[in-house]
A and B are shown apart, each in its own frame.
Chain A
Amino acid sequence: MDRIRGKGRMPASMPACMTALVAALLAGPCAAAPEAPRSTKGAKAATGPAQLLAAGWKQLDLVNYPASQATFKKVLGSSSATRAQLAEATFGLGHLWQYRRPGASISEATELYQQVAEEYKDTPSAALALMALACLADTPEYEKDRRPDEARRLYREILRDKPESFVVHEAALRLAMTYLEERGSRKTEDEGVRMLTEHLAAHPNNFLATAMHTQLAVLFQSREEFRKALKHYIASDTVDLRAAQSELTDAERKLPLKRRLNQISQRRVMDTGSRAALYYRIASLAERKLKHYAVAVTWYEKIVYEIVRDNKFYVSKLSAERCRKLAAEAGKVVPPHPLAGKERRP
């Protein structure tokens, strides 16, 4: 009953049995559920601005837009809220207006983001608001509404004014991509390459380094600069692997290789499917375009022994055998994969 009233579907004065009947008819087989999905649990208990903010985000996560909106507004009305909390609540409202369905309002969202970016410049939310505005210009709902120049201006603003924020790496990546996406002139592409290369030189292990190397690799491959492409494809894996390895606990480091690989795999940015595709591409480029058979063996075998459950398993196994022979003919001995001989079947 409360659930139905909370939804605002019918007046609260409606007789109880009628409400139940209509609710049942409207909702179908689930109608008799005694739960209350529109619960504002969390928000009611929350009193301070910090708790309210947490509750507001949680409600947003549960697709409870009206409750979330009310909670963020409560923060804005709270006399004890700090500037950072006010900024976060305003940003939260902007986020809500941008993503609520139905009833999204990009103009409302833009206004709120702008408010955060201008009035709360000194808060962590400001960088996020700028990024949100940039993304609205760069990847709006309809392609015809794209405003690349505006997006570039905002990305540059983030890079210049918010170097301490984590979104700075995303700004660098997206700014470079606006150039890479143009393709057409070598000069434009080079501008994108320069941006990514410089950012990677300054922040080689930033959390988006994998994506940055991938972009560079794809570009170099399209230019048929296969050596450079290979270098960046391999770097995209290495940087991800290194980050995952650094997260292992001491106990995990002592695990046998197979178990350790599983632990590392869980901490990778790239899922196993994407890695299988990447390893196959590296191996295939090395084999077909560069005739680096030893490199090809290494990466084909990574699919066979490290990925295992992928449709490329058997094909990689055959390819690794073929390349091993070709490498041997060229006088190169490729050491076996550490897991070779320990049969791993999908």
Chain B
Amino acid sequence: MTETSAAETEKRLERKSRLRTCVGLAILAVSLGWSVVHVSILAFGPDSDTALLAGKKVIRFAHWQLEGRCVEALNQACRDYEQEKLKKDGIEVVVRQIEIPERAYEQWTRTQLIGRTAPDLIELRWWQDLVVRYFVPLTEYVEQPNPWNAYFAEDANFAELPWRETYVDNMLGGWNWELRDYYGMPMSLFTVRVYANRTLMEEAAGVTEPPKTLGEFMAICERIKAYAAERRKKDSQYRLVPIAGSDYTAHVFRGRYWGMSTWGMIAKYDESCDGWFDDSERIEALYSGKLNLTTEPNIRAGLRALYDISRHFNPGFMAAKRDQSVLLFAQSKAAMVATGTWDAGSLWRQVAGDFEIMVFDFPIAAPGEKYHQFLRHRLTEAGARAGFSMGLTRFSQNKELAIDFMRFLTSRYYCEKLNRAFRWFPAIRGAEPDPILKAFRPQSDGIYGGFELFINPGDTRLRHDQKYFGYMSEPEPTAQAYKQFLVDLSAGRDAFFDSHKESRDRILANRAYRILKGKAPTRQAYSYKQFIADWREAHYDAFIRDYARDYYNLALDDYHRNYQSSYQRVVQAGAPIASGRAKVMRHGLEPKLRRGLASVILGQTTRQIDRVRFRDVYERASKLKEAGGPAGQGARP
């Protein structure tokens, strides 16, 4: 009985297993069948490329700009080009746009390039390895006039300019510094600004004009906070923050104010007189004791100002993403948001008359205001380079046509039209942007950032990001916590230290003690306002001490890694140099080839000699570190 039952069970299991296999095979067969039909229709059906494009030239371009109206504007541009090209030169051409989401872009382009199935034009990123191998240098094209400028009846002076000179940045956005050649054809310029909800600003803070100084900006934020608190008393669901925060907007603010505050460090530490406080100088200054992260006033001012500003972001902002902060602003739950031109199109469309947007540059501190000594110059945008840059792939079958298409898009007339549709800033001289972008016009008067708090890439970067996140995002103590602090402190400093091990608490207690010495720890003697001010200082001190110690321990290794990997950049220049030599051998030392070869050799040899400096600095710094380093660097306990 038991044997029969076991055999039956086995048979049943076998049947089930077979059934599962059959179902699996059936699904596979259906999927395969569907794929065959689908691809066959695409490839050979009446609407297939094969049928539609017979006898026509085809240009394909890929990009990841899926914001706002980009895709539809570019589709229109394709149709316009097809018509104009037929009218102008009698050539039937079809332009196809391939939109790739940003997340998949890297993998997609690499696969297509390696598989040699890439489209004619690809939006470029920072790809040295791919650019040198798969993209066409464009120098000979950029030195010729753009024929579409004459076609669109621009004035003769402009139409005769070389293509390069029609760009506001002389096409430097397409210049590859490593390979010393033009590889990109950019279309737009990008800047970042603060967007404000004018309606809300007037209602909550009583202002209709942008703040002129950092002090005014902070005061407006305070008024908005107070207004929101008032409204919440009547409506507990009401939500309004002065600035829409996210990890992204925090970095936007950081980019501006950190740059402003560290500019002054160049004058102090730039030994090589090149206008930068570069990695080598940083390492040298750090291990010789000249630079002390914990006491450097420019660093303190920058980080403290950023922390003060971030107090006006929504709680938990570091966990939010860019889209969320933009949405918060669009929904009138934040009065301001900091982002770039790239969001202008979407934002204006989203708010669509719900409120008026005003845009302003990041305000600086006026004389007499906090941080004036460090945040008194704006950051310059004189060196802003055009972006949305397309590269021409080497195996494009229609190179001239692809270049012609890009010339069409970057003719003054069409670049204006296209960028107005994008609501981006056109990269071509004289092309007028959409009026809403007036405030985005690049500002030339200003300084530039002098110092970064980590060596990129490396462990210092990783450590910085971890600690900076904590520093910026930790909520401040409530009134309740303040009361508890006073209670704990009244038990005596030693007792307090026994129960509070964190260095920030200790720093805070020491500060409080200095004030409270000889007095009873009461609110009158040590107010909540004073407590918060001290807490912020202690919070900063604890962060920077901790980070300085890590930085001191990690920076030299990061520097060494960069020094070692810099050899690859020297080697990378070998291929274009060899190609340049071969061309000169074949065609003689004619000017363009001579310049090209000389330029890339200059770049490579400069990098070689830079390595010598890296090595010397590394050796000197290693000895200093081994010897225990100078005191006060945070390295010693």
Contacts and interface: CB of A to CB of B under 8 A. Distances in A.
30 contacts: A17-B36, A24-B43, A26-B115, A32-B42, A34-B49, A34-B58, A35-B58, A37-B117, A37-B395, A131-B581, A132-B578, A135-B578, A139-B571, A141-B571, A143-B567, A170-B581, A173-B601, A177-B605, A207-B597, A208-B598, A211-B606, A269-B599, A271-B599, A280-B273, A280-B274, A285-B273, A309-B170, A310-B383, A315-B448, A346-B381
Interface stretch (B417-425, B494-502, B608-616, B624-632): B608-616
B581 A315 contact: no
A125 to B, nearest CB: 7
Contacts of B115: 26-27
Nearest to B117: A27
Contact of B35 (A21, A33, A207, A211): A21
Contact of A62 (B165, B395, B445): B395
A345 B441 CA distance: 12
Interface in A305-326: 308-315
Contacts of B578: 95, 98-99, 132, 135
Interface stretch (A71-79, A215-223, A334-342): A215-223
B194 to A, nearest CB: 21
A36 B117 CA distance: 10
A128 B585 contact: yes
Interface string B169-198: 110100101001000000000000000000
Contacts of B564: 143
A103 interface: no
Interface string A166-202: 1100100110010011010000000000000000000
A91 B578 CA distance: 11
Interface in A13-50: 17, 20-21, 24-39
A153 interface: no
A160 interface: no
B164 interface: yes
A114 to B, nearest CB: 16
A25 B608 CA distance: 45
A25 B170 contact: no
Interface string B33-46: 00110011011100
Contacts of A125: 585
A95 B60 CA distance: 31
Interface string A261-277: 01000111111111001
B524 to A, nearest CB: 49
B297 interface: no
Contact of A266 (B48, B60, B164): B164
Interface of A: 7, 17, 20-21, 24-39, 53-54, 57, 61-64, 88, 91-92, 95, 98-99, 101, 124-125, 128, 131-132, 135, 139-141, 143, 166-167, 170, 173-174, 177, 180-181, 183, 207-208, 210-211, 214-215, 218-219, 221-222, 247, 262, 266-274, 277, 280-281, 284-285, 288-289, 308-315, 345-346
Interface in B562-617: 564, 567, 570-571, 574-575, 577-579, 581-582, 584-586, 589, 591, 594-595, 597-599, 601-602, 605-606, 608-609, 611-613, 616
Interface in B424-455: 442, 444-448
Interface residues of B, number: 85
Nearest to A61: B394
B134 interface: yes
B50 interface: yes
Given A128-B582, A311-B448, A346 B172 contact: no
A247 B448 contact: no
Contacts of A36: 397
B118 interface: yes
A114 B286 CA distance: 49
Contacts, number: 222
Contacts of B119: 30, 33
A7 B116 contact: yes
Contacts of A32: 42-43, 48-50
B40 A20 contact: yes
Interchain residue pairs A-B with the least CB separation, the first 9 = A311-B383, A35-B397, A346-B382, A284-B273, A27-B117, A37-B395, A313-B382, A346-B444, A32-B49
B585 A124 contact: yes
A39 B397 contact: yes
A146 to B, nearest CB: 9
Contacts of A221: 272-273
Given A24-B42, A26-B117, 18 more contacts: A21-B36, A24-B43, A30-B119, A32-B42, A32-B49, A33-B60, A37-B116, A37-B117, A54-B586, A63-B133, A139-B570, A139-B571, A180-B609, A214-B605, A215-B605, A268-B595, A270-B602, A312-B448
Nearest to A140: B571
B111 interface: yes
B39 A63 contact: no
Contact of B605 (A99, A211, A311): A211
A135 B574 contact: yes
A267 B581 CA distance: 19
A296 B117 CA distance: 53
B145 interface: no
A273 B48 CA distance: 47
Contacts of A183: 612, 616
A29 B574 CA distance: 34
A221 B610 CA distance: 13
Interface in B262-299: 270, 272-275
Given A32-B48, A208-B598, A312 B116 contact: no
Contact of A210 (B398, B581, B598): B598
A30 B112 contact: yes
Contact of A313 (B118, B134, B380): B380
B117 A20 contact: no
Contacts of B599: 269-271
B116 A38 contact: yes
A126 B621 CA distance: 45
B50 A315 contact: no
Among A63, A141, A177, A215, which residue has the most Cβ atoms of chain B within 10 A?
Answer: A63
A25 B601 contact: no
Contacts of B10: none
Given A181-B612, A210-B602, A31 B117 contact: yes
Q: Which of A54, A132, A270, A311 has the most CB of B within 10 A?
A: A311
Given A101-B133, A139-B571, A173 B605 contact: yes
Contacts of B168: 309
A269 B602 contact: yes
Nearest to A226: B273
Contact of A312 (B117, B162, B275): B275
B108 interface: yes
Contacts of B585: 88, 124-125, 128
A9 B177 CA distance: 37
Nearest to B42: A32
Contact of A314 (B447, B574, B601, B608): B447
A207 B273 contact: no
B98 interface: yes
A43 B487 CA distance: 89
Given A17-B36, A208-B598, A30 B382 contact: no
B595 A272 contact: no
A315 B383 CA distance: 12
A102 to B, nearest CB: 9
A218 B49 contact: no
Nearest to A17: B40
Contacts of B60: 30, 33
A60 B28 CA distance: 42
B559 to A, nearest CB: 17
Interface centre among A29, A88, A92, A284 (most CB of B within 10 A): A29
Contacts of A166: 584, 589
Q: Which of B48, B112, B395, B616 has the most CB of A within 10 A?
A: B395
